[in-house]
Amino acid sequence: MIRVFPALLLVLCALLLASPLRAAIDLYQFDNTEQQDRFHRLTEELRCPKCQNQSIADSDAEIARDMRERTARMIREGRSDQEVVNFFVDRYGDFVSYRPPVNERTAILWMGPLGLLLLGVLAIVLLVRRASRRAELEEDDQP
């Protein structure tokens, strides 16, 4: 009995420490699996306004929890995915979407990587040309 007591105490402590973890899981009831799949897809697609780069599915922030609840409610009401995304974009701006629309304000997000790629290719071409000219000049200088 004396050896069993420390083991029971250890198991009891582990269960007590694990109980707050179970409380953090949000459970949402949906009418069908399609709604549940839409919920999971949308919560991965929407970014938490408080967190730097976490989706509302991954964030523990209170605002993310509110956004998950609102998303679930809108899906149960029959709103489309685009209506849900537009709702949050209207309130929090384009930042809340991992796929912001292409417009004047977000053009740098869409064109920036392409521009940097083109600048990189141009720099490589110029460096290669300069190196080949040096090699040609060195060959011409040798008797």
Residue pLDDT, tens place only, 44-95: 999 999 987 899 999 999 999 999 999 999 999 999 999 999 999 999 988 8
pLDDT at 107: 81
pLDDT band at 23 (very low <50, low <70, confident <90, very high): very low
pLDDT > 90 in the chain, percent: 52
As a whole number, mean pLDDT of residues 32-45 equals 93
Of 17-21, 89-93, 115-119, least confident by mean pLDDT is 17-21
Matching residue, tokens 């899981």: 25
**Enclosing H/E stretch for 33:** helix 33-45
pLDDT band at 24 (very low <50, low <70, confident <90, very high): very low
Q: How far apart are CA 58 and CA 37, in angstroms?
A: 16
CA 90 to chain centre: 19
Q: pTM higher than 0.85, yes or no?
A: no
pLDDT at 104: 83
Architecture of domain 26-101: Orthogonal Bundle (1.10)
Q: How many CA atoms does the CB half-sphere of 61 hold within 13 Å? A: 14
Domain residue ranges in the chain: 26-101, 103-143
Q: Is a pLDDT exceeding 50 seen at residue 139?
A: yes
48 touches 55 (CB < 8 A): yes
